[in-house]
Chain A
Amino acid sequence: MVQTLAHTTHDGQADGDSAGLICTGLSKSYWGVPVLKDVDITLRPGNVIGLIGENGAGKSTTSSIIAGIVEANGGSMTIDGIPYEPARPSDALKNGVALIHQEIRMVPELSVAENIFIGRLPRRRGVIDRNRINDEAREYLELVGSQTDPRRPVAGLSIAAQQEIEIARALSREPKYIIFDEPSASLGQAETQHVFAQIAALRQRGVGIVYISHRLEEIKEVADTIVCLRDGALVGNWPASEITKDEMVKAMVGRDFVFSHRAPKPATSEVALSVTGLSKAGVFAGIDFDVHRGEIFGFAGLVGAGRTEVVRTIAGADQADAGEIKVHGEVVQIRNPRSGIDAGIAMVPEDRKGQGLNLDRTGAENITLPWEKELSSAGIITKKKVTSTANKLRDFLDIRGRLDIPVGSLSGGNQQKVLLAKWLVNEPKILILDEPTRGVDVGAKMTIYETIRALAETGVGVIVVSSELEEVLGLSHRVLVMSGGLQRAILDRADATPEAVMALALSNVPKESPLESPIDGEAEYQTTIRTQEN
């Protein structure tokens, strides 16, 4: 069925029409290994292509080639019939092609506005015209629904806020073609809806868009045409309205595939983690909950509600002002990450690049980093030990890619698995997962969900923080909903409907938060959750 669909829309060249950005035969190899094979993509003005594919399929490589960041080994590109050969990103921008990176790159010390206009800061009487960039930056930020003050430094902003800035930066170039490489991976529902609204507006203005995401409903919602890559080769393309989610998955993985959330096995009555009165001035207050052994405990709420801050404090990454933490019934003093780890608390942080992985070191070294003492004998750690430990986890988590090259050169989803592997070397008592499936494909998501459930079944208390409501609700026994730094309620699985959770998440939110859009998302949640539970 996939094949027949493919024929219906492959019309581009047939018409001899050269309008738009046309890529023919793109190929790329790394270390002698082909990662992109003869890929043709035709992006028409005003068209939105949804680019899908498993982790490592070559989506980011394709976009990097189009944006002049990496050079293809073969193939050619034209824009409106004129050869387009970007040697560097600035060439791409000159030709009206902008890329929103999967990995956000900002200069933390510079202001938001400076980051947006970096490289082309307007001057007045020889100095940067701050008023102008601040005003213009504010306009572009508002387009994506961001309330961030353009004058503040980027340092300290959440990833979601940075992602919005990254998008504003691309928009400020007024490009004719934009590639969004997994923007929603770092955004909450509300922010994503703003981005969609913006994409619709751009499309109206005749901008050609490539949108990459692992959230397939989202892709269907936003794209006109769906293009799928597998193992670096083009599988086909389809009108978005004619392909179902299951067919998309099948095209990605190359076989039938059922995506389902099974209900977790009941938790035990033993308490694994007990938190009382946890507070941190100005950030969150009065957090009280227990996680049982074998329980998956979800944290829901909007981006900025304080979920990440709470779990970071429990793991020792930040310090609480008040409160008590007990692990397996014993009070523990957690002053820093090491004492957290020693107490049996492991945390997979949300910011893979800034906090999770050292991108210049190999995957194996990253995985064993916290455990080198445990893995050494007579105080000596050997490369062999590091490699063998990492390889076991590679098999366990189905990491696809080499672990002896810098982890930064793995695809995004595989980096996420390496990050997870790092915290599974030693079985923790409490495993905290902050956005555990950021940028992970459907198959890998299933693997990660099953791993989480399997870990819980061995008696680990698991905490899952996720902005994907479907994910928290699908996984958890109970869900704690936060808003504005406060704990609003703890819902049992049966009561944790998307409506109930969203209502709580939106309660008492300070005025400046964008309130309208998540409501739109609700109906959709309901259906997806329903389909997944049966």
Chain B
Amino acid sequence: MAIIDRNMTPPRPDSSPAHGEVAPTSAASVNTSRFRRIMSQIPGPLIGLIVIFVALSFLSPYFLTPRNLLNILSQVSAVGVMSVGALLIILLGGIDLSVGSVLALSSMSMAAMYKMAGWPFEVALLAGLIVGALVGLINGILTAYGKLQPFIATLATMSAAAGLALFITNGNPITGFPDWFIAITATSILGIPIEGVILVAIFAIAAFWLKFRPSGRALYAIGGNEEVARLSGLPVRRAKILVYTIAGLLAAVAGLLVTSRLDSAQPTAGAADLLNVIAVVVIGGASLSGGSGSLLGTFVGLLIIGVLNNGMSLLNVSANLQPVVIGAVIAAAVLTDRKSSRRHT
């Protein structure tokens, strides 16, 4: 802070008012530009969500009941938890293909340690989380130090983790968990299912980190231009390793939620989640080239996917057609987003 606080002012060639740069002139132009700025603050995906929401309330009488809405929250919790990790990685300009396999592997590891190795359940649970974080750590090390492209590094771990999950029980599910663990996905606090609370809490903590903590804000800088970030003294490699590890840990948390809900650890759980997770982040307005995106947007993206899937089931849309709709939504979201980001070029 030294320089500017010391009140050291370099002698200026002149002291006349600055004129090289144009200042807003009339009150009208200030107003229109402020209005435009406020409009541009409203995330595009939110408008989409509201439209879908209103449409579905008309189409299905059951849609707008509290019970159904809370149900949506439960349905999206696992994908939602993983999409937090995915957003962090995508902000860095990376990608994580391994989330679904990590979900399965950590769930199976926990179950195997509890049921097959006979460990106390709490220890097994912790071990399951650690397995997820470890795979994430490997992703991080491969990309940060091995200089592998994230797509390739996580393709490798995706394959390996999926194989390991199957290997543990030769492809068989494991069932029978303590009651309190099952209760996580069957209880509500103040009417809100616990998994929904966990989901929102994770979003909130991560959003706080991204907005207010230097290490969180650094992700935007690194994703925006890695060399600028490095020369600014940001620990680029450490940030990558940290974020991939967090993403692995969150995939493991999602694994626990799924296991609890099904009362069963399944080696193929999560296989379909990868595309949903990426869809959520992309619909939420993040750019796959890194440096831009927000958790608020991601949350809205999550709700869009959740509400759409729920609504289509309520309306008896064929399960085979649902992915077609999701695909169209992804394309629409990205198309409208590109228009808005072209503003200042």
Stretch at the interface among B94-102, B117-125, B160-168, B232-240: B232-240
A426 to chain B, nearest CB (A): 7
Please count the residue pairs between chain A and chain B whose beta carbons lie under 8 angstroms apart in the complex: 153
Contact bitstring A421-460, B, C-beta under 8 A = 1, else 0: 0101111000000000000010100110011011100100
Q: For the complex, is B339 an interface residue (Cβ under 8 Å from A)?
A: no
A361 adjacent to B232 (CB under 8 Å): no
Which chain B residue has the least Cβ–Cβ distance from A414?
Answer: B21
Chain B residues lying within 8 Å of A34, measured Cβ to Cβ, are: 22, 25
Cross-chain contact B213 with A56 (CB below 8 angstroms): no
Question: Is there a chain A Cβ closer than 8 Å to B36's Cβ?
Answer: yes
What is the CB-to-nearest-CB distance from B324 to chain A, in angstroms, rounded to a whole number? 33
Instruction: Name the residue on A nearest B10 (C-beta).
Output: A450
Query: Is the pair A381, B212 in contact by a Cβ cutoff of 8 Å?
Result: yes
Option from A392, A398, A422 in Cβ contact (under 8 Å) with B232:
A422
Residues of the A chain whose Cβ atoms lie less than 8 Å from the Cβ of B228: 354-358, 369
Stretch at the interface among A140-148, A194-202, A400-408, A503-511: A400-408
Q: Which residues of A contact B16 (CB under 8 A)?
A: 255
Interface contact B227-A355, CB-CB below 8 Å: yes
Mark out the residues of chain B between 3 and 42 whose CB falls within 8 Å of any chain A CB in the assembled complex.
Answer: 3-4, 6, 8-14, 16, 18-25, 29-30, 32-33, 36
Contacts of A422 in B (CB 8 A): 232
Closest residue on chain B to residue A449 by CB atoms: B10
Q: Are B11 and A441 in contact (CB under 8 A)?
A: no
A480 at the interface (CB under 8 A from B): no
Are the CB atoms of A454 and B230 closer together than 8 Å? no
Interface size on B (CB < 8 Å)? 47
Task: Describe B's contact surface by its main secondary structure.
Answer: loop
Q: Is A126 an interface residue (CB 8 A)?
A: no
| In-complex Cβ contact of A369 among B6, B20, B30, B229 (8 A) | B229
- We find that the number of chain A residues with CB closer than 8 angstroms to chain B is 74
Interface flag for B169 (CB, 8 Å): no
Q: Is the CB of A361 within 8 A of B221?
A: yes
Question: Are A398 and B224 in touch, CB under 8 angstroms?
Answer: no
Partner of A441, one of B20, B24, B36, B344: B20
Chain A 320-359 near chain B by CB (<8 Å), digits 1 or 0 = 0000000000000000111011100001010000111111
A370–B214 touching, CB < 8 Å:
no
At the interface, yes or no: A372 with Cβ under 8 Å from chain B?
yes
Contact of A347 among B11, B24, B231 (CB under 8 A): B231
B218 within 8 A of A: yes
| Measured CA separation A382–B212 after assembly (Å) | 6
A317 at interface, CB cutoff 8 A: yes
Determine if B291 is an interface residue (Cβ-Cβ < 8 Å).
yes
Smallest CB–CB gap between A52 and chain B, Å? 13
Counting CB contacts under 8 A, is A490 at the interface?
Answer: no
Contact between A405 and B344 (Cβ–Cβ < 8 Å)? yes
Residues A82-118 near B (CB distance < 8 A): none
Chain B: CB-nearest residue to A372? B214
Least CB distance, A405 to chain B, in whole angstroms: 7
Asked if B2 CB lies within 8 Å of chain A CBs, one says yes
A255-B14, A409-B344 known; A360 vs B19 contact (CB < 8 Å): no
Residue A376 is within 8 A (CB to CB) of chain B in the complex: yes
The answer to the question of B63 belonging to the interface, with a C-beta cut-off of 8 Å to chain A, is: no
A380 touches B212 (CB 8 A): yes
Cβ contact within 8 Å between B214 and A231 = no
Chain B residues with CB under 8 Å of A389's CB are 4
Q: Binary interface profile of B, 65-87, with partner A (CB < 8 Å = 1, else 0)?
A: 00000000000000000000000
Contact B230 A425 (CB under 8 A): no
Q: Which of A31, A411, A426, A427 contacts B36 (CB 8 A)?
A: A31
Question: In chain B, what residue has the closest Cβ to A396?
Answer: B4
Q: With contacts A426-B2, A454-B8 known, is A35 near B221, CB below 8 A?
A: no
A-B contact pairs, 7 of them (CB 8 A): A31-B33, A360-B291, A361-B221, A369-B221, A381-B212, A381-B217, A405-B344
10 tightest A-B contacts by CB? A400-B21, A372-B214, A427-B2, A32-B29, A450-B10, A338-B233, A370-B232, A341-B233, A54-B20, A358-B224
Partner-B contacts on A (CB < 8 A): 30-35, 54-57, 230-232, 253-255, 257, 315, 317, 336-338, 340-342, 347, 349, 354-361, 365, 369-370, 372-374, 376, 379-382, 389, 392-393, 396, 398, 400-401, 405-406, 408-409, 411, 414, 422, 424-427, 441, 443, 446-447, 450-451, 453-455, 458
- With contacts A230-B19, A379-B213, A443-B20 known, what are 12 further pairs, Cβ within 8 A? A55-B20, A232-B22, A337-B230, A356-B228, A356-B231, A369-B234, A406-B344, A409-B344, A441-B20, A450-B12, A451-B10, A454-B8
